């Protein structure tokens, strides 16, 4: 096998507007196959076991297995309404559904272990049409703020999420904003004291790398109010970190009212947008938000929240509206920074510390985790791996989670019907994939092999597994490190058309199902982060 020097590429990260909507969702009804596993987060009373441990299960599955989990939310429901029902169970406050095509014996054991820790769920006994909001395909990587990150540790402990997910229980591996890079998904900043010189990088990290920012207590209002001068090429410009509120950078009226200039909020609060992903929690969280220096967020008198900002929890009887602010006074608010869907998400939750065992504490923590998993998916969909040649000519661009074969415009049909031997004409395509893998040690791939529906289901599953084994072996022989390749056969469980058992289809239609996918990811353990932007 000979790899042309012309294939030498530069590996850079770039930004591209891929979706026109502010938030990512499918908003579609999908038929979920019999045998899939649905996590039930709608059981009352809400406890750490039945309402927070599911996020630990979700994290373990996404970080261990090559899966796409369905996030099911009924778009028409009212607060605490039913998303769907199975037998005698009602599923509320969103459900995460693991398709049967991903459920191996190992994954089934993982589910059983978490059920012993309190997770509740059920396997579908028949095919069911469900309202899928979005797919989740990767586990978030949280980075705790070196100043006060310890306040958030209770969230992860309650959910059973390991220390490796957030930098551990010692601040040695936590970061300041100027240390954040492409491999940091979410910056967790509870009760910090942000200053422009130490926190200005959040502006660029959010914009360039799509990093998500969570701020608790008065860190949110202080963040919105800091501004300063930065170099932009040969010129200087003023920037302000008013991610969720309007206003020109540096203007006196821009930002939020400082916490020491307004009164506290007055529960009960209004919980809005019941079908929003962040709003997937049961009951009210009001009592969790009545401690600390900042208990409500107000735009300055001449200012407003950005149009796309989601005001999830508001105080309808806020004491300083309209005297100090035109409101609304918000308890929890989030959106894309600067209303730009190409930027990462930002979430503010008031209160110094809302951890605890009560259902209202659980609700507040659930909002944090809902936003976290959603923010990681938004980042994945906007971060692009862009390849160029030495002249700077664009070759292709792909996202983490994309199929490298499609990106390179390769034929995904590597095998003939009922065969597990690579077709001679397919070898050249695998050589091209191997060339990119060798050129870029940061890249990882997951091989996913699919068959058509002809022959028995069990036979096709074994056939697809054999095809993965053969494909993986070919790439290893071509020089790709085995540790960088994962894979699994899916048989006929993920057909791309209606050519199912008992359905008569043309050969061309069956061939579309007989495909191989090469799903991209990045190994952040060795990724240098030295990108040409």
CA 181 to chain centre: 17
Rounded Cα–Cα distance for residues 363 and 52 (Å) = 9
List, as one string, the DSSP characters of 379-398: HHHHEEEEEE-TT--EEEEE
Q: Look at residue 93 in the predicted model and tell me its pLDDT.
A: 97
Report whether 269 contacts 331 (CB < 8 A).
Answer: yes
pLDDT of 457 over the 90 cut: no
Whether the CB-CB separation of 284 and 271 falls below 8 Å is answered with yes
For residue 17, pLDDT over 70 is answered with: no
Closest to 495 (Cα-Cα) out of 517, 478, 514: 514
pLDDT band at 493 (very low <50, low <70, confident <90, very high): confident
- What average pLDDT does this structure show over 148-153? 93
Specify the 3-state DSSP secondary structure of 406: helix
Tell me if 371 sits within 8 A of 345, measured CB to CB.
yes
Residue 212 has pLDDT above 90, yes or no: yes
Flag whether pLDDT at 5 surpasses 70: no
Within its chain, how far is the Cα of 45 from the centroid? 27
Q: Quote the crossing angle between the two packed helices 53-64 and 359-382, to the nearest 10°.
A: 20
Predicted confidence band of residue 181 (pLDDT cuts 50, 70, 90): confident
d(CA 303, CA 221): 13
Mean pLDDT of 304-317: 97
Please give the pLDDT value at position 226.
Answer: 97
Residue with tokens 């579609």: 28
* CA–CA–CA angle 347, 219, 55 (5° rounding): 40
On the question of pLDDT at 7 being above 70, the answer is: no
From the CB of residue 302, how many other CB atoms can be counted at a distance below 10 Å? 13
Report pLDDT digits (tens) over 18-46. 222 334 455 688 889 999 999 999 999 99
Mind listing the pLDDT tens digit for each residue in 377-392?
Answer: 998 877 666 554 444 4
Q: Which CA distances in Å does 511 have to 416, 418, 516?
A: 9, 11, 11
At 106 the three-state DSSP class reads: helix
**Cβ contact 515:412 at 8 Å:** yes
Which is it for strands 95-98 and 443-449: parallel, antiparallel or unpaired? unpaired
Strand, coil or helix: 431: helix
Report which of 525, 354, 333, 325 is spatially closest to residue 443, judged by C-alpha positions: 525
Reduced to 3 states, what is the DSSP secondary structure of residue 517? strand
In this prediction, residue 301 carries a pLDDT of 95
Let me know: does 268 contact 284? Beta carbons within 8 Å: yes
Q: What band does 531 get if pLDDT is binned at 50, 70 and 90?
A: very low
How many Å separate Cα 483 from the centre of its chain? 24
Q: Are 40 and 91 in contact (CB under 8 A)?
A: yes
Report the C-alpha gap between 32 and 372 in whole angstroms: 25
% of the chain residues with pLDDT over 90: 65
Mean pLDDT calculated for residue range 347-361: 97
CATH number of 401-522: 3.30.1330.60
Looking at residue 389, its pLDDT comes to 43
Helix-helix angle 457-477:424-439, to 10 degrees: 60
Tens of pLDDT, residue by residue over 239-280, are 999 999 999 999 999 999 999 999 999 999 999 999 999 999
CATH for 142-382, among 1.10.150, 3.30.300, 3.40.50, 3.30.70?
A: 3.40.50
Residue 153 phi, psi (nearest 5): -60, -30
Question: What is the residue-averaged pLDDT of the chain?
Answer: 88
For 260, the token pair is 């020491």
**For residue 47, is pLDDT > 90?**
yes
Cα–Cα distance, 203 to 344 (Å, whole number) = 10
| Residue 479 pLDDT exceeds 90 | yes
Instruction: Extract the tokens encoding 114.
Output: 């978490």
Closest CA to 369 of 25, 48, 52: 52
- Domain map (residue ranges) of the chain: 17-136, 142-382, 401-522
SS (H, E, C) 54-93: HHHHHHHHHHHCCCCEEEECCCCCCCCCEEEEECCEEEEC
């Amino acid at each position: 096998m000979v790899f042309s020097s012309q294939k030498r590429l530069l590996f850079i990260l770039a930004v591209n507007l891929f979706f026109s909507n502010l938030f990512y969702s499918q908003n579609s009804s999908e038929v979920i196959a019999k045998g899939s596993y649905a996590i039930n987060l709608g059981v009352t009373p809400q406890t750490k076991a039945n309402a927070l441990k599911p996020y630990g299960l979700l994290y373990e599955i996404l970080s261990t297995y090559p899966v796409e989990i369905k996030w099911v939310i009924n778009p028409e429901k009212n607060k605490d309404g039913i998303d769907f029902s199975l037998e005698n169970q009602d599923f509320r406050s969103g459900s995460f559904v693991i398709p049967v095509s991903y459920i191996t014996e190992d994954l089934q054991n993982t589910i059983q272990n978490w059920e012993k820790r309190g997770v509740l769920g059920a396997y579908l006994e028949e095919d069911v049409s469900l309202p899928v909001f979005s797919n989740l395909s990767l586990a978030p990587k949280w980075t705790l703020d070196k100043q006060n990150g310890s306040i958030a540790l209770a969230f992860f402990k309650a959910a059973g999420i390991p220390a490796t997910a957030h930098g551990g229980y010692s601040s040695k591996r936590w970061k300041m904003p100027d240390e954040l890079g492409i491999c940091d998904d979410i910056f967790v900043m509870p009760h910090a004291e942000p200053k422009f010189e130490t926190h200005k990088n959040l502006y660029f990290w959010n914009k360039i790398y799509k990093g998500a920012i969570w701020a608790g207590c008065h860190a949110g209002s202080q963040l919105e109010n800091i501004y300063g001068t930065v170099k932009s090429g040969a010129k200087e410009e003023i920037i302000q970190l008013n991610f969720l509120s309007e206003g020109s950078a540096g203007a006196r009226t821009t930002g939020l009212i400082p916490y020491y200039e307004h009164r506290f909020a007055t529960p009960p609060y209004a919980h809005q947008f019941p079908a929003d992903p962040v709003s997937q929690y049961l009951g009210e969280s009001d009592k969790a938000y009545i401690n600390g220096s900042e208990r409500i967020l107000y735009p300055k008198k001449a200012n407003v929240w950005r149009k796309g900002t989601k005001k999830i929890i508001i105080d309808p009887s806020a004491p300083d509206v309209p005297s100090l602010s035109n409101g609304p006074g918000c308890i929890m608010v989030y959106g894309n920074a600067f209303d730009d869907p190409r930027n990462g998400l930002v979430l503010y939750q008031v209160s110094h510390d809302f951890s605890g065992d009560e259902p209202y504490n659980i609700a507040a923590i659930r909002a944090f985790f809902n936003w976290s998993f959603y923010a990681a998916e938004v980042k994945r969909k906007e971060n692009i791996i862009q390849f160029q040649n030495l002249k700077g000519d664009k070759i292709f661009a792909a996202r983490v989670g994309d199929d490298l074969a499609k990106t390179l415009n390769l034929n995904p049909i590597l095998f003939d019907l009922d065969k597990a031997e690579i077709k001679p004409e397919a070898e050249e395509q695998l050589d091209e994939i191997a060339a990119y893998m060798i050129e870029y040690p940061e890249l990882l791939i997951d091989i996913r092999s699919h068959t058509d529906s002809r022959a028995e289901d069990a036979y096709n599953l074994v056939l697809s597994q054999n095809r993965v084994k053969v494909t993986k072996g070919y790439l290893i022989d071509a020089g790709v490190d085995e540790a960088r390749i994962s894979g699994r056969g899916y048989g006929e469980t993920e057909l791309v058309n209606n050519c199912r058992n008992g359905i008569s289809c043309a050969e061309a239609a069956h061939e579309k199902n007989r495909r191989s996918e090469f799903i991209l990811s990045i190994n952040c353990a060795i990724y240098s982060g030295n990108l040409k932007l």
